[in-house]
Amino acid sequence: MFVGTNLTNIRILHGYTRKQLADMLQITEQSVWQYENGYMSPKMEIVNELKKIFRVKSKYFYSEDFLDRNGKSNIQQSHIAYRAEVINSAQKTQSEAKNIEFISSFLKIIEEKLHYPQNDIMKLREMVIQYITTSNDEPLKKVQRAAKIAREFLEIDNKSNLNLLFMLEKKGAFIFEKAIGEKIDAYSLWSEDGRPFIILGNLKKSAARRNFDLAHELGHLLLHYKVEFSSLDSKSHRQHEQEANLFAGAFLLPEEEFIEDFNALPRKSNPESYIDLKRKWIVSIQALAYRAQSLGLLDYQQYRYFNIKLNQLGYKTREPLDDKIKIIRPGKVKSILQLLFDKNYLSLRTLLDTLMVDIEFLSKLLGIEVEFFEKYQNQLSKEFTVSDLNLKAK
């Protein structure tokens, strides 16, 4: 029997409306509605098209609801915190919430084979909440102090941000990258079972921008736990974004060390003077000046002149070193899979059969290149060789 909720879930995951999917299948929107609500089962040719569109196996649509079967994580889509200039549509938020539901279900499957260490970022969250709720500091001071607490807790030295992504993953964050769209840089969310997720966009990125995205989303995770972002008006949305930006600047550029570096700059209003600082901290020239301005190291006129020069040099869209500094990609989940596959704790075939999906689906969901999975798929298909004859000469 065709299970309509599986189609609903995977359609929302891919961000399609019923009308869009109907057009792809060359059927009516009413037919898709009937499939999803159990009033009609699609013909086999439609199921075959659905398989191609979503890169899943036929039995995906005829088994118990995928998310129910693998344990729903109770993702609250209203808690998704975007790094974006505008409030996102309900459809986009629903799609990204479904993305994390699928990832969480995947993680629960592989967790049957592993025991993760304690999630330290949850401990950090509680430390920050405790400080914010008991301190008499001014709001902006609280944000900056929270950033300092976080940097110390994550054991990132005050010389560089080279290992930021690594330390976040090591301390408990689950970080993925995907094509989110041009208007969203990243987003983050706490699952109801206390797992911190950060999703990074993979369009037009540099190592410096990626670091700011990570720090910005960490700010949301620590400062804005349980905030219902979907209910915020434009003013409140901007305020939360500004707090996350302030947190990111303070986190990435520790005050004492940054002031020392900044004071050594020859021409503080010239963006070209910041190139060596960008190389050291792996933070954009724009963010470096933003931090200087927030610390009162650049006055209004200096900061205004800086931004004029930034536009003249074309640095608003592309900065020096953007193509030189290596972009670090998330590696924790890929390493977990490599361990499971290499040690034969779990085979790729078993994983794909359990999830009822193709390699391409898994690659897109986890942001891991197809070639990684194909390597293990090829290992499953043994060819007979001379060594397998097991013959001895007389």
Tell me the pLDDT tens digit for each residue of 247-268.
999 999 999 999 999 999 999 9
Q: What pLDDT, on the 0 to 100 scale, is given for residue 189?
A: 92
- The reply to whether 304 falls in a domain is no
For residue 376, what are the domain limits? 347-388
Which of 20, 40, 69 represents a domain boundary (last residue)? 69
- The order of strands in the sheet holding 184-190 is 81-84, 184-190, 196-201, 174-178
Q: Report which of 214, 217, 212, 209 is spatially closest to residue 321, judged by C-alpha positions.
A: 209
- The reply to whether 62 falls in a domain is yes
Q: What pLDDT, on the 0 to 100 scale, is given for residue 125?
A: 97
Which residue type sits at 15?
G
Give the CATH number of the domain where residue 23 resides: 1.10.260.40
Which of 18, 45, 69 represents a domain boundary (last residue)? 69
pTM for this model (two decimals): 0.91
Whether 333 and 176 have beta carbons less than 8 Å apart is answered as yes
Whether 249 and 143 have beta carbons less than 8 Å apart is answered as no
- The reply to whether 7 falls in a domain is yes
Q: What pLDDT, on the 0 to 100 scale, is given for residue 188?
A: 94
- The reply to whether 306 falls in a domain is no
Which of 69, 89, 105 represents a domain boundary (last residue)? 69
Cα–Cα distance measured from residue 252 to residue 151, given in angstroms and rounded to the nearest whole number: 8
Give how many domains the chain has, as a whole number: 2
Q: What pLDDT, on the 0 to 100 scale, is given for residue 300?
A: 95
Please, where are the H alpha helices in the chain? 4-13, 18-25, 29-36, 44-54, 66-69, 90-111, 120-134, 139-153, 164-170, 207-223, 234-252, 255-263, 275-281, 285-294, 300-312, 332-342, 348-355, 359-366, 370-380
Q: What pLDDT, on the 0 to 100 scale, is given for residue 73?
A: 62
Q: What pLDDT, on the 0 to 100 scale, is given for residue 72?
A: 64
- The reply to whether 364 falls in a domain is yes
Q: What pLDDT, on the 0 to 100 scale, is given for residue 70?
A: 73
Ranges of residues in the chain whose predicted pLDDT is under 50: none
- The reply to whether 156 falls in a domain is no
- The reply to whether 200 falls in a domain is no
- The reply to whether 196 falls in a domain is no
Q: What pLDDT, on the 0 to 100 scale, is given for residue 380?
A: 58
